[in-house]
Amino acid sequence: MDVLKAIHTRRTIFKFRPGGVPKEVIEKIFEAGLWAPNHHLTEPWRFVVLGEQTKEKLARRYAEIQEAKAAEGASDEAKGILKEAGYAKFMSKPTIVAVACLQDGDEVKNREDYAAACCAMQNVQLAAWAEGVGMQWSTGPITLEKNTYDALDINADKEYIIGFFYTGYPDEIPEPRRKPLDEVMSWTD
Ligand SMILES: Cc1cc2nc3c(=O)[nH]c(=O)nc-3n(C[C@H](O)[C@H](O)[C@H](O)COP(=O)(O)O)c2cc1C
Q: What is the pTM of this model?
A: 0.96
Q: Hey, whose CA ends up nearest to atom 14 of ligand 1?
A: 137
Pocket test for ligand 1, best of 16, 99, 138 (most atoms within 8 A of CB): 138
Task: List 102's β-bridge partners, or say none.
Answer: 159
Query: How many angstroms separate the CA atoms of 143 and 159, rounded?
Result: 12
Task: List the chain domain ranges.
Answer: 3-51+93-173
* Cβ pair 170, 17 in contact under 8 A: yes
C-alpha to C-alpha distance for 83 and 52, rounded to whole angstroms: 19
The number of angstroms, rounded, from the C-alpha of 115 to the middle of its chain's C-alpha atoms is 15
Q: Of all protein residues, whose CA lies closest to atom 30 belonging to ligand 1?
A: 137
Cβ(156)–Cβ(102) below 8 Å: no
Query: Which residues share a beta bridge with 61?
Result: none
Residue to substitute in 66, 101, 123, 137 for testing ligand 1 pocket (most ligand atoms within 8 angstroms of CB): 137
Residue 158's pLDDT is 98
Cβ of residue 11 lying under 6 Å from some atom of ligand 1: yes
Question: Ligand 1 atom 11: the closest Cα is on which residue?
Answer: 138
pLDDT tens by residue, the chain, 189 residues = 899 999 999 999 999 999 989 999 999 999 999 999 999 999 999 999 999 999 999 999 999 999 999 988 989 999 999 999 999 999 999 999 999 999 999 999 999 999 999 999 999 999 999 999 999 999 999 999 999 999 999 999 999 999 999 999 999 999 988 999 999 999 999
Architecture of domain 3-51+93-173: 3-Layer(aba) Sandwich (3.40)
How far apart, in whole angstroms, are the C-alpha atoms of residue 65 and residue 113? 29
